[in-house]
Structure 1
Amino acid sequence: MRASGGLTTVNSEPAPAPGAEEAESRAPDPAAGADDVSRRRWPRVLGALLTVALIATGCALYAEGRQLRDTPATANLALTDAEATTRVTGDVSNALGKIFSYGPGTTATTQEAAKEVLAGKALQQYAVLFGQVERQSADQKLTLTTEVARAGVTRLTADSAHLLVFLDQVYERRGRTPTTAAAQLTVTAELRDGRWWIVEIGST
């Protein structure tokens, strides 16, 4: 309020209330509040992104590991199962020693032994071959003794096996010096009723 010519004039603008300027200075800035919210939100967003990335990486590593486990190399039990490999090698070696060892008076026994270890194509092959061998053994008094020198399993699954076999054979004819020969065979065997049967024999 001020005096002018004896008249009192009242200022229409009210004076600011005490502390108003201080309250105004403390009023929150909308822009600053948005920045604070963004700063608080970023750690959560970043954490979520890292979680997704870790899950994706884990899935990729699992798929890659599964693929490696399912490769043909790791599916070959000859590379991982020593017990099964030893068993099939022993069964096949014993069988070959029996069916390829005979003398003039033992061919019938050898034929019966073949029926206990051979099946399928191998049994048919052997029947044709042994017919000739039986005649030679009787005419020439021929005795053949066969031993497996080495045998290796090239592929093995739960019920089939492929082997490479090296044989040492001794031929004896009456009145002649025994001769030694080596043979190399490929053998396919199948596990039937808990026992390995030779189903195919080939020469290399």
Structure 2
Amino acid sequence: MKPTASGVFAGVIVLCVCLTVWFTMARPRGPENVALVDVGATNAVTDQVGRALRTVFSYDPSQMDRTSVAAQDVLVGAAIEQYNSQFQQAKKEATENKQVLTTAVRSIGVMDLRPDSARLLVFVDRQLVKGDKHESGVGQLLVSAVKAGEVWKISDIRFL
């Protein structure tokens, strides 16, 4: 039995469909974790989280209410609860002792970056001024952030 042109054509079509499916499924996917691979996204999350941490961990006794409101804009979920549970004590001490806390972010390493979430290791310097006394210290934080629209917000903070 001799193959007909339509039979050969149908066979070629089936082969093309099979190869298309095969190569689509076998194609290597891009990395799920794009930390450092996507420079723009990495810069965006480090810049926004760095600013948020300076906002959250810096205060002046004359501007405690403004600091609290600003913190609510950059925090979500568990981070808001963490902050609110500690802020009242910090506000009391700052007001009674006239203490000013300034936090500087020294370095941020993005450990994991997804389209809507990130985990970062952050190194900070803290300066505390109480009257004429100055104290300084360093800290390491493990920060989780989520993307809300175009803005990264802190969802969890762990002190290391």
Which range, TM-score by smaller chain?
0.7 to 0.9
Q: Percent identity?
A: 36
Alignment partner for residue 145 of structure 2, among 160, 165, 189?
189
More strand by share: 2
Query: Could you tell me how far apart the structure 2 residues matched to 1:131 and 1:82 are?
Result: 38
Q: Within 1, Cα distance between the matches of 2:139 and 2:66?
A: 23
- Partner Cα separation in structure 2 for residue 106 and residue 84 of structure 1: 32
Larger Rg: 1
Runs of 4+ in 1 over 4 A off after TM superposition: none
Q: Which residue of 2 aligns with 1:27?
A: none
- 1:131 is aligned to 88
Letter in 2 for 1:112: V
* Paired residues for 1:1-204 under 5 Å: 63=26, 66=28, 69=29, 74-176=31-133, 178-204=134-160
Whole-Å separation in 1 of the counterparts to 2:137 and 2:36: 31
Q: Distance in 2 between matches of 1:160 and 1:129?
A: 25
Cα offset, 1:141, TM superposition: 1.0
Structure 2 segments unaligned to the other structure (5+ residues) = 1-17
TM-score normalised according to structure 1 size: 0.65
C-alpha RMSD of matched pairs (Å): 1.9
Q: CA deviation at 1:138?
A: 1.1
For 2:159, the aligned partner's letter is: S
Instruction: Pick the structure with more helix per residue.
Output: 1
CA contact (8 A) 2:36 2:110 kept: no
Q: What SS class does the counterpart of residue 169 from structure 1 fall into?
A: strand
Give the TM-score taking structure 2 as reference length: 0.82
Give me the whole-angstrom Cα distance separating, in 2, the residues matched to 1:96 and 1:129.
15
1:80 deviates by: 1.5
Distance 1:175 1:155 in 2: 42
In the comparison of the two structures, how many residue pairs are matched? 141
Unpaired runs of at least 5, structure 1? 1-54
Q: 1:165-184 deviations in whole A, cap 9, x for unaligned?
A: 000110101032x1210011
Task: Show CA shifts across 1:86-134 (max 9, x none).
Answer: 0000000001001111111111111010011001100010000111100
2:124, 2:148 → 1: CA distance? 25
Greater relative CO (CA pairs within 8 A, separation 6+): 2
- 2:13 maps to none
